[in-house]
Structure 1
Amino acid sequence: MEFSLLGPISVTTGSAELSLGPAKRRSVLALLLLQPNTTVPLEQLIDSLWEDEPPEHARTVVQGHVSRLRATLAEGGAEAYGIELATHGSAYLLRLPEELIDAHRFGELVALARPEAAPADAVPLLREALGLWRGPALTGTVTSPPFAAAAHALEERRLTAVEALGRAHGALGEHEQAAAILYSAAVNHPLREGLIAGLMRALFHTGRQSDALEWFHRTRRLLNEELGVDPGERLRGAYEDILRAEAAGGGRTGAARPAGGARGTGGASGGTPSSGASSGGTPSGGSRSGASGDGRSATGSGARPVDGTAQAPVQESAGSDEARGDAGAAGTDGTRQGAPAGGRGGSGSGRAGAPPRLLPRPPARFLGREDQLAALTNVLTDGTTGESPLAVVAGPAGVGKTACAVQWAHLYAGSFPDGQLFADLRGFGEGDEAPPAEILGDFLLALGTPPERVPSSAQAASALFRSLVAERRLLVVLDNARSSAQVRPLLPGGPHCATVVTSRSRLDGLVATDCARPVGIQTLGHEEGAALLGAMLGPDRVAEDPAAARELVDLCDGLPLALRAAAAQLTARPRWRLARLAAALRDERRRLALLSAEDTGIAAALRMSVARLSADDARLLSALATSADGHLNASLAAALAGYDPERTQDGLDRLTEMHLVDEEATDVYTISTLTQLFARDERGEGGEGDTGGTGDGS
């Protein structure tokens, strides 16, 4: 006879499972099994079975359940196994050999395993222990706090065993197995720092350095947003170890790095999403591989590499050792890219190995944007000024800014042999924006600076950063910036460095003070949008209904993020024709909800933009949303908002800078349909004039 707590509550004898009856009877048995060979007072059973005030006949109910359990166990031959359910006054005792309980056997196996001292023996022991689990612990019991606490305690023991198994595989050099084991647990328990730290180390040792760093940044954001705390010692230690090893040329040895293995912040290996969709279908940090441009070419490269040589395909440029420019690979200037070219980069940094490669993975199915890629090439490879070039990729939420910047960075990574740095500035996320000191600390560690030499102040860290990179050929990608002031301390000063910034704001301050060159990203036309749908769904599915494809592009306002969300809806419903989704999207009450995919969507992206507005500007946007066709001038806007002309014009200028409103011509403003729908929803939920965030509207 065997008793199961690690999953549904059950009792089996031979190959048969005994019928235990309703949830309260199973709960009585579970509580007795959690305290085997110990008397359990009747009052404790009553308190555990009823979350609210127990009924007057509760004692009789419990006694009846105990009586039926005793009869069921007897029918299953309990006596032959040395099992007895006895009554001791007003308490009960389940007497049995404890090895008959799966939770007890689990604990014994885990205690025997020594993952560090004897990993070869620990692996089979821990696998056997985890194999006893058949689902969430105590399934089938009542939902009261005592049972929830007991189930949580058992789950904690399971996760500890998972971590131990990961360490055992790691000690044996079986890092792929360790990553596979830890990944599922990390997805389901994203705030468990020890688990994430183990996964980061396993990913790093399999050559997925940037995947590992992505997990750190994603977990850091979650800790800040949900608990208001910073990463603990284990998580921060794993992060710093990886950065130091990466700078020293560490990581996976004896095998090529996997294609597409370079990732930045936000999502996880295997497609785990990160929070916050920022620029055109890729979450802040670029982790979602679904970011896209428009629909004209599958390569997305409309410009030639800087030195005129043939460039490796995008996936290779992020994956193989040769294309990534790791130690021993030749750079575009003839130097070996595993060390600073021409003796650059010493400067007391402690850097002794391969340069940092912190770019996110290249965006999947990136299409077109040749004009924008060519514009970035013109800006970032202009050596005539003797200055460090700076480009600002700006556009509305969901238009594909991050995808375009990351695509260009991968295409031209070979032109920056001393490394590529990437940071999500979190300017339009649910939590606080990233402080410059935090980003500079990450950059300095990636460049090989010992942790104890990283300055605590942003000013000192910025000065050290500029000193270290002054003579290097380095690319810096700063994603999702809120303001020019946030960006300035992060800019390298050397003439061989280049910087790309993405933002929903135009960042006019950088244009004024740092000679930044703007690169605008526009929405997609019908042909381009249909091509994106074809890349996501397959060309045949789009070709069978081209009129519906055009309508979907219109209903999505030509935004890649919205089109990708629509494609996700159709992918989940393979029998749907495009016309069926188009018909559903015509209902304006449902459109924003349908254009969402799990943790990303156009409503979430717009919410982050509106949250950064002042209360006055948010009320103005809400008033503009009541326009019949989305076209208006300053006079009509003033009438709708009830503002004076000067106040209205200032507000329109700020909304235009944030790409929430477009100025098509002098005093001709438009607001997109999706923005109108979102602003109307916010107005309906919060009441008129209650849609503003806490930003200053800049």
Structure 2
Amino acid sequence: MEFSLLGPVTVATGAGELPLGPAKRRSVLALLLLQPNITVSIEQFITSLWEDEPPAHARTVVQGHVSRLRQTLAEGGADAYGVELATRGSSYLLRLPEELIDAHRFSELSALARPESAAQDAVSLLREALGLWRGPALSGTVSGAQFAAAAHALEERRLAAVEALATAHGALGEHGQAAAVLYAEAAANPLREGLVAALMGALYRAGRQSDAINWFHRTRQLLGEELGVDPGERLTRAYEEILRAEAVATEPPRQQPAAGPQPSAPRDPRTQLMPDQGRQPAVPHQSSQAPAGGSPQGGTERTGGDPAHPTAPRHLPRPPARFLGREAQLAELTWWLTDNGGGESPIAVVAGPAGVGKTACAVQWAHLHAAAFPDGQLFADLGGFGEGAEATPAAVLREFLLGLGTPPDHIPPSADAASALYRSLVARRRVLVVLDNARSSAQVRPLLPGGPGCATIVTSRSRLDGLVVTDVARPVPVQVLGTDEGMALLGTMLGHERVAEDPDAARALVHLCEGLPLALRAAAAQLTARPRWRLARLAAALSDERRRLSLLSAEDTGIAAALATSVARLSADDARLLSRLAMGSGREVDALAVAALAGSDPDHARDGLDRLAEMHLVDEAATDRYVISTLVQLFARDKDAGEKGS
């Protein structure tokens, strides 16, 4: 169950959004969520909903809205999430784990970010925090001073997080990305001088000094016309810093005496940060692996970036929390990608079913071996199995080129030209590229580097056989965890003492979760939220197949959500085939039986089963013998029942 304030006020469960009703009822819920686990008096509700003109029956109206909210939450399974809407005399209390509220998670993620001292981690944290926003805060509530003030406070925190994200990009030398982060916000808030000043600094350091100066003059004119004031200290200081730096950059070199020590070369002012932007140098990391007779990029032509100072991007997400096991897969990746097992520019495809931990395995290896790729690590989520649209090669290439130091106006508009520039920039560098969540080989190919010192990891729910054929990619399958590994994962999540109290129940949980790390983590989340529950109680609840998928979900993640994105990528024929397999009583089927069940010829059935196996929705146990997991069966049955019901 997830409560949202950062956009429309909503409550969502694994089955979808709960019907909250009219604006006043949403407003009652919003007031309770703004003060979670604290009593709110009925007088506060009346004042917030009607301000100075409440109706005579206002108290009854509030009581009615609370009663309907309590019923709606109960129907959504509030008890299972530790959520209770309680009455305390003439006040009400919404008791719940605060991490169920998106505004609370946003605040925690933002507070953890250290844009200057831990910039790479800050980028990941702040992107995740800002990704929780779905529109103006508290949308759908009544108009009133209290809601407006609360929404304004949340918006101020959002803008502060945007500026912090830009600062983190700047500390990493990613000034083009810092400018991109700030541009839309500055355009939407043209009188917010701090945003404009930060944008000016980012634009200047990205080599766009004319754009930076134009922003100052535009903002100065707007301040005069709208407010009748001059620019404030921060905006003026940013402008003066740019002018002083430009004067130094254009000053002709002074003549030096013929004899005596020569002065060092003038420093480019763009390598020095402006006030309020931290003190890390903006000169990008330069590889120690430059080839003899050339720059680290293998040439001096400046088609994008600065060949003398190549940028070393650090785009990896944070290392996976409490990662364990996968020694065989990590060893195979090491052999193939760094021990010359794969030859020049090797590629590994980490493939497996939804929720098995492919991304965690790839990111863990990338962090362990980052030192082997001193010229940078690039990461992109291709969105091949997500709810939104897939990432286009052009969009990913733009991010990669910005990370490699290419000014935004030097990036070619066509994907083919951008791909060629990208390959040129990394041709003589040692760069690791991680392409996560790919749908097809065609989506990946334009993003592959060609340099002999580069390596690529691709993760996918599909085997991506095309990459194996055309690019000699190495398949690295990731399987479900065994019983001992699954129990060890539960121990790291819950504490080994709690697992040791009832090892039989722990084994039962691993079995019911079918060894899938995502399912085990979701089960651990349920137990973490209920410290008084014994493992046997959850195992008993999961034994009820009608509840299993909902219990193995946490907020917007879980087995049902993961399988939904896989099934959504199937053709209509393959989706029907999966549905028929799910209706069977057993887990193991053969191609001839499936052909008879589907009313098709055996070859057609084999082709469909092979496509499902390629997507890891079934497993090929032997020739013409296939196994479907119980979790996939349950999901397909629920989906089929839902479609028939609608």
TM-score w.r.t. the length of structure 2 is 0.61
CA 555–208 in structure 1, closer or farther in 2 if over 3 Å, else same? farther
Shift of 1:342: 8.4
Matches within 5 A, 1:79-228: 148-151=141-144, 155=147, 159-160=151-152, 182=157, 186=158, 194=159, 197-201=162-166, 203-204=168-169
Distance 1:559 1:246 in 2: 46
Shift of 1:202: 5.2
- The one-letter amino acid paired with 1:615 is A
- SS of 1:481's equivalent in the other structure is coil
CA contact (8 A) 2:289 2:429 kept: no
Shift of 1:150: 1.7
- 2:73 equivalent in structure 1: none
CA contact (8 A) 2:285 2:312 kept: no
Distance 1:543 1:502 in 2: 34
CA contact (8 A) 1:392 1:518 kept: yes
Identify unmatched segments of 5+ residues in structure 2: 1-26, 33-39, 63-137, 190-194, 208-280
Identity percentage of aligned residues: 58
CA 465–588 in structure 1, closer or farther in 2 if over 3 Å, else same? same
- The answer as to 2:416 corresponding to 1:459 is yes
- The answer as to 2:325 corresponding to 1:368 is yes
CA contact (8 A) 1:345 1:468 kept: no
CA 674–161 in structure 1, closer or farther in 2 if over 3 Å, else same? closer
- 1:627 equivalent in structure 2: 584
Distance 1:242 1:358 in 2: 22
- 1:422 equivalent in structure 2: 379
- The one-letter amino acid paired with 1:461 is A
- 2:442 equivalent in structure 1: 485
Shift of 1:578: 0.9
- The one-letter amino acid paired with 2:554 is A
- SS of 1:476's equivalent in the other structure is strand
- SS of 2:514's equivalent in the other structure is coil
- SS of 1:150's equivalent in the other structure is coil
CA contact (8 A) 1:340 1:472 kept: no
- The answer as to 2:551 corresponding to 1:594 is yes
Shift of 1:527: 0.4
Shift of 1:341: 5.1
Shift of 1:664: 1.1
**Per-residue CA shift, 1:351-403, capped at 9, x if unaligned?**
43651000000001110111000111121125476531111000000001000
CA contact (8 A) 2:617 2:632 kept: yes
- 2:355 equivalent in structure 1: 398
Shift of 1:565: 0.3
- 2:305 equivalent in structure 1: 350
CA contact (8 A) 1:393 1:401 kept: yes
CA 431–245 in structure 1, closer or farther in 2 if over 3 Å, else same? farther
Distance 1:449 1:328 in 2: 12
Shift of 1:245: 9.9
- 2:564 equivalent in structure 1: 607
Select the residue among 553, 564, 573 that pairs with 1:616.
573
- SS of 2:435's equivalent in the other structure is strand
- The one-letter amino acid paired with 1:200 is L
- SS of 2:325's equivalent in the other structure is coil
Shift of 1:495: 1.1
- 2:74 equivalent in structure 1: none
**Per-residue CA shift, 1:494-527, capped at 9, x if unaligned?**
1111110000000011111111111000000100
TM-score w.r.t. the length of structure 1 is 0.57
- 1:674 equivalent in structure 2: 631
- The one-letter amino acid paired with 1:440 is L
- The one-letter amino acid paired with 1:419 is G
- The answer as to 2:492 corresponding to 1:499 is no
CA contact (8 A) 1:623 1:641 kept: yes
CA contact (8 A) 1:395 1:522 kept: yes
Shift of 1:550: 0.9
Larger Rg, first or second structure (1 or 2): 1
CA 581–149 in structure 1, closer or farther in 2 if over 3 Å, else same? closer
Distance 1:240 1:31 in 2: 44
- 1:296 equivalent in structure 2: none
- 2:52 equivalent in structure 1: 30
Distance 2:41 2:609 in 1: 72
**Per-residue CA shift, 1:224-245, capped at 9, x if unaligned?**
xxxxxx999679x999999989
CA contact (8 A) 2:290 2:428 kept: no
CA contact (8 A) 2:595 2:601 kept: yes
- The answer as to 2:489 corresponding to 1:532 is yes
Distance 1:476 1:623 in 2: 40
CA contact (8 A) 1:595 1:601 kept: yes
- SS of 2:626's equivalent in the other structure is strand
Shift of 1:586: 0.2
CA contact (8 A) 2:398 2:418 kept: yes
Distance 1:213 1:553 in 2: 43
Shift of 1:643: 2.7
CA contact (8 A) 2:560 2:635 kept: yes
Distance 1:244 1:422 in 2: 24
CA contact (8 A) 1:244 1:448 kept: no
Matches within 5 A, 1:295-374: 347-351=302-306, 352=309, 354-374=311-331
- The one-letter amino acid paired with 1:429 is G
Shift of 1:27: 5.6
Identify unmatched segments of 5+ residues in structure 1: 10-16, 33-41, 52-138, 165-181, 187-193, 221-229, 249-324, 691-698
Distance 1:242 1:375 in 2: 45
- SS of 1:393's equivalent in the other structure is strand
- SS of 2:329's equivalent in the other structure is helix
- The one-letter amino acid paired with 1:592 is L
Shift of 1:585: 0.3
CA 457–233 in structure 1, closer or farther in 2 if over 3 Å, else same? farther
- 1:225 equivalent in structure 2: none
- The one-letter amino acid paired with 1:150 is S
Select the residue among 399, 423, 438 that pairs with 2:395.
438
- The answer as to 2:622 corresponding to 1:657 is no
How many residues are treated as equivalent by the alignment? Answer: 451
Distance 1:495 1:348 in 2: 21
Distance 1:637 1:462 in 2: 44
CA 385–683 in structure 1, closer or farther in 2 if over 3 Å, else same? closer
CA RMSD after TM alignment:
4.4
CA contact (8 A) 2:286 2:311 kept: no
Shift of 1:349: 2.7
CA contact (8 A) 1:247 1:355 kept: no
- SS of 1:468's equivalent in the other structure is helix
Shift of 1:645: 1.7
Distance 1:534 1:616 in 2: 42
- SS of 2:457's equivalent in the other structure is strand
Shift of 1:460: 1.1
Shift of 1:599: 1.2
Distance 2:520 2:533 in 1: 16
Distance 1:246 1:570 in 2: 49
- The one-letter amino acid paired with 2:607 is D
- The one-letter amino acid paired with 2:519 is A
CA contact (8 A) 1:428 1:609 kept: yes
Distance 1:156 1:344 in 2: 57
Distance 2:533 2:286 in 1: 50
CA 541–29 in structure 1, closer or farther in 2 if over 3 Å, else same? closer
- 2:406 equivalent in structure 1: 449
- 2:519 equivalent in structure 1: 562
CA 492–343 in structure 1, closer or farther in 2 if over 3 Å, else same? closer
Distance 2:502 2:41 in 1: 57
CA contact (8 A) 1:391 1:501 kept: yes
- The one-letter amino acid paired with 1:657 is E
